[in-house]
Amino acid sequence: DTGVSQDPRHKITKRGQNVTFRCDPISEHNRLYWYRQTLGQGPEFLTYFQNEAQLEKSRLLSDRFSAERPKGSFSTLEIQRTEQGDSAMYLCAGRAGGDTGELFFGEGSRLTVL
């Protein structure tokens, strides 16, 4: 158990609806990452935060995607006007300070867009 929790674990929605995922890391994780993973692929980087600052966003993160970490603790990832291509596992990972950079993943939020 990495201590990183994600909610909801599963979400089924209709195309065009908005969805929001939440991630709660442990207090030592000053950095928080969002990845997306589709079947047969490795996790793809979306964005990351150091405390409340969003430091990097992938080109994969279209205008329909937005992420926040308002108080430097939990984070939310919102997808607006979902498309079938958004169906994936959305993974949150925390990282403590230090140089090596290992990430500890939560259990993921699986999104199915019908």
Binding site for other proteins (CB under 8 A): 31, 33, 35, 40-45, 48, 50, 55-56, 89, 91, 99-108
Residue among 24 and 44 whose Cβ is closer to other proteins? 44
Q: CA–CA distance from 88 to each of 62, 71, 82 (Å)?
A: 15, 27, 12
CB of 108: closest distance to other proteins in angstroms? 5
* Token pair in block for residue 30: 């000053």
Strands 53-57 and 5-7: unpaired
CB of 79: closest distance to other proteins in angstroms? 19
Q: By the 8 A CB rule, do 92 and 31 touch?
A: no
Residue among 25 and 43 whose Cβ is closer to other proteins? 43
